[in-house]
Structure 1
Amino acid sequence: MPWLLSSPPHPPSPSPCQRYCERTAFAFYCAVRDKLPAWLLEDMRSMEVFLWDDGHPRSFSPGDALMYALVHDHQDYARYLLRSFSVKALHVARCGMCRSGGSALLHVAVRYNRTTILGLMVDTLKDSAPEGWRQEYLNSCGGCAHGADAGKTAVQLAVELSRADCLLLLLARGARPHALDAALLRLAASGAAERRDARHCLDLLLLFAPRPAAPCRLLDEPQRWQSLLGRDVFGWLSGLAPPPLLLQALRTLAQSVPCQMSQLPAFLRPHSKDQAT
């Protein structure tokens, strides 16, 4: 009978060592949250703070500390970690309940919209990481297996959340512009208040991508998509016309000197239907 079945065993109580690790990790979390000076946080990290990992204590890594700096937008500490440890600070062994690749930090930066710290991270990649490792890091699906970001690249997440500034930083440092279909879906689902940011993300993908194949949905509902995209961009994406002159010029700029895109005056940044038509 069900009521006679033995109940599952209770998990063992945490050991004194595990409780100590939890206390030090929480104290460090609060210290980063309160934005204590970088030198003081680094003294704590290197001498006083431990994590409980697979039944054993281990010291807090620079990547673990950068994760906390991202969550709390502690820009000074993030800058200190990246200057002191370079690409070593871009790797985190664990994220919460599951193991994840180092690029989980990119996902956190995009989800929290930490554009300043993300800029520091991609600059560190450019300056210090080998090309192959940099490309793998930028384009990996590093989201946690238990979370909403599982199986997504940082570019895909930036498009889904309409994080245009984050998207530009990623694309300018070589991330693949492979989320066009997601950008179109996001644009179609956006309300009036969100449409500008969604359109900006789509425009950035169009600047950095090679000539995209025409998504079937454009031809299935041509009037709707022409209204959303503008006549010229719709014609180009659907294969009916060449790209608009402004788009051609900006694509050349984006693919030759991508880091200059953020310096363009506002009237040259393609982010609205009116500019595309």
Structure 2
Amino acid sequence: MPGAVGWSERSNADYQSQKQCKKTSFAFYQAVRDLLPVWVLEDMRIMEVLHWEEGGKVSSYSPSEALLYALVHDHQPYAQYLLAHYPQEALAMPSTSFSCCQSSAPHLAMAIRYGRVAILRNILRTLGAVSHSSLAGYINRRGCHRVEGGKTPLHLACELHQTDCLILLLGHGACPHITDASGNTPLDTLLHVIWGNQRDLRLKRLCLDSLLLYLPEGLTFQLREQLRAEPTAWKELVGQDLYGRLAGTSPPPLFALSMHNLLRALPAHRFPEALEELSLPDFLKPQALRKQPCK
């Protein structure tokens, strides 16, 4: 009986501890959501807030986990602070309660899913400053095979036709030929999206144009045979000229080859600043990087 009483007391203590963790954890989530000042958030994270992990472990929020919250709520000053003061810790893997796959790139995936272009740019700049080799390895990580189908951040940008994110990833060295768990390249992923739903077709074609600037002449992708089998439908979707290049019946235009060579020559750790410094008129730049007219 004493053992049973002791077990009951421990269970009650665990319940109270877990309840308190949930309360403080939600308070921190709300504080980030409400865009409270950085110093308030850091005081909470370091001194007050705990969260309950699997296995009954109580932990404070790491810079990595705090950065995920900053991404969700687009708290750019907080994201900038975390990346500046904890460059390695902020981009380390969060605990398994935040990310089931410990070999993925959850911060890049979150930035792309929510369209947080400014924070994504800061993340990539931070990775490049830490190590160029770290940038190349991190940016091409595959997501969870079970949940995300082994998609890389570039696959995800194509799936969601996030052109600004796609350009940043490619400019920082993302591999345009890498495949997911199903053997699809980013180009396959984007073409699947175009074929499956014709909504927002202009944005999807802009994404396709941007992706092709980083692909050389010899395109290799799984959907080529489908393109060749249904030329009429695909020509309506992507246009006559682009269809010819994708189907392999016509070479890429000289402009595309020139831009491909130019973009690949730019240093990844200085993208897109290096492109902006070139004396190119706006109409020669990828459309996603053109200056927007002031309203």
**What TM-score bracket applies, with the shorter chain setting the length?**
0.7 to 0.9
In the other structure, the counterpart of 2:183 is none
1:224 Cα deviation after fit: 2.4
Equivalent residue of 2:59, what SS? strand
| TM-score normalised by length of structure 1 | 0.83
Equivalent residue of 2:51, what SS? strand
Match of 1:114 among 113, 116, 134: 116
Match of 2:195 among 188, 191, 203: 188
In the other structure, the counterpart of 2:208 is 202
Deviations 1:107-161 (A, max 9, x none): 1111111111111101111111350x3223211123595x5x3522111111111
1:209 Cα deviation after fit: 2.4
**Unaligned 5+ runs, structure 1:** 1-11, 273-277
Higher mean C-alpha displacement, 13-22 vs 108-117: 13-22
Provide the C-alpha distance between the structure 1 equivalents of 2:44 and 2:260, rounded to a whole number of angstroms: 47
In the other structure, the counterpart of 1:34 is 34
1:262 Cα deviation after fit: 6.9
In the other structure, the counterpart of 1:237 is 246
CA contact (8 A) 1:71 1:112 kept: yes
Deviations 1:62-109 (A, max 9, x none): 000000000100000000000001122012223447354461111111
In the other structure, the counterpart of 1:6 is none
In the other structure, the counterpart of 2:141 is 140
RMSD: 2.5
**Unaligned 5+ runs, structure 2:** 1-10, 178-185, 289-295
CA contact (8 A) 1:100 1:142 kept: no
Higher mean C-alpha displacement, 79-88 vs 89-98: 89-98
Equivalent residue of 2:86, what SS? helix
Provide the C-alpha distance between the structure 1 equivalents of 2:74 and 2:204, rounded to a whole number of angstroms: 24
Deviations 1:153-202 (A, max 9, x none): 111111111111111111111111131111112222343x5011111221
Deviations 1:1-40 (A, max 9, x none): xxxxxxxxxxx77521111211111111011011111112
Residue identity in the other structure for 2:284: L
In the other structure, the counterpart of 2:291 is none
Provide the C-alpha distance between the structure 1 equivalents of 2:145 and 2:246, rounded to a whole number of angstroms: 34
In the other structure, the counterpart of 2:21 is 21
Residue 267 (structure 1) aligned with residue 283 (structure 2): yes
CA contact (8 A) 2:65 2:98 kept: no
Provide the C-alpha distance between the structure 2 equivalents of 1:99 and 1:242, rounded to a whole number of angstroms: 41
